[in-house]
A and B are shown apart, each in its own frame.
Chain A
Amino acid sequence: MNVSQIVEALQQNFPDETIEVRDVPMRDTFVELAADDLHAAVTLLMERFDIYHLSTITGEDTGDAIVLFYHFWDGQGLTLCTLLSREAPHIPTLTDLIPGADFYEREVHEMLGVMFDGHTDLRPLVLPDDWNSPPPLRKEEEEKEDEQ
């Protein structure tokens, strides 16, 4: 995997956006993208660079926004990050490109309440059937739990 080529290709593809790149230890590179560009960026990764292995999707509520990390791997890591609003987070699904993204998206959905547009089946993956509180990894939920 040639990271600089990939970044260049992404920049060419989305000329209006500023793409931020930072190196992360243990051979990983984080590339920050707008949420609307993500689907096209993954298509590009798959078609031009044959990167198909999505290790997982990490979701995190930082308090200001919800960050999603799409960890790709092909001998070394390439992580696409994107920021979503906390009020109504939504992003296009990747399941049409990578069927294996199904479980990861369902998990992020139930843990943080992110909607994946186009995902047909966002049933709970690991949370119980009778779960009726808000998603457990949201900041306000975490604070409420810590008080107890």
Chain B
Amino acid sequence: MLQKVIGWARRKSPWILHFNSGGCNACDIEILDLLTPRYDVERLGILKEASPRHADILLVTGPVTRQTRDRLVRIYDQIPAPKWVVAVGSCGCSGGIFYDGHNILGGIDQVLPVDIYIPGCPPRPEAIIDGLARLLEEIE
């Protein structure tokens, strides 16, 4: 019974933490756009949090650079379980256009287990909402 309630609460109010691990800002402004009147994901219970301790979902944009790798892992470790990782944007999925840069390790899945990939350069806010909605379907 208690588990059911917790599962329900998780689905109805997923809190996200956004981290840019090497992206170009395009995905980041589209994510910030989700909070503003046209898309307004707060109506779905999605809140953008500033502390990893509060978050359920880690939204990562950009490829992983050598300098952010350890920080990204540390942030992931600080999020209480259960936790999910969403890779936003083409370079988050695979390294994208920057794949052969001297400071690039590749997509987010080189470092963290990714649950949902949202491709696009940058993905539209609708696509990000769709990705999050699919993730919520998975969270049972």
Contact = CB atoms under 8 A, between A and B. Distances in A.
Contact of B67 (A128, A136, A145): A128
Nearest to B66: A128
A121 interface: no
A130 interface: yes
B102 A136 contact: yes
Interface in A127-142: 127-131, 136
Contacts of A127: 103
Interface string B58-85: 0000000111000000000000000000
B65 A145 contact: no
A69 to B, nearest CB: 22
| Chain B, interface residues (CB within 8 Å), range | under 10
Contacts, number: 10
A136 B66 CA distance: 14
B70 to A, nearest CB: 9
Interface of B is mostly: loop
A46 B102 CA distance: 37
B65 A128 contact: yes
B103 to A, nearest CB: 7
B66 A130 contact: yes
Contacts of B67: 128-129
Nearest to B67: A128
Nearest to A146: B100
Interface in B24-71: 65-67
B129 to A, nearest CB: 34
B6 to A, nearest CB: 40
Contacts of A136: 102
A60 B55 CA distance: 45
B66 A145 contact: no
Given A128-B65, A128-B66, A128-B67, A145 B102 contact: yes
Contacts of A130: 66
Contacts of B66: 128, 130-131
Nearest to A136: B102
Query: In the complex, which of the residues B65, B66, B102, B103 has the most CB atoms of chain A within 10 Å of its own CB atom?
Result: B102
Interface of B: 65-67, 102-103
Interface of A: 127-131, 136, 145
10 contacts: A127-B103, A128-B65, A128-B66, A128-B67, A128-B103, A129-B67, A130-B66, A131-B66, A136-B102, A145-B102
Given A128-B67, A130-B66, 6 more contacts: A127-B103, A128-B65, A128-B103, A129-B67, A131-B66, A136-B102
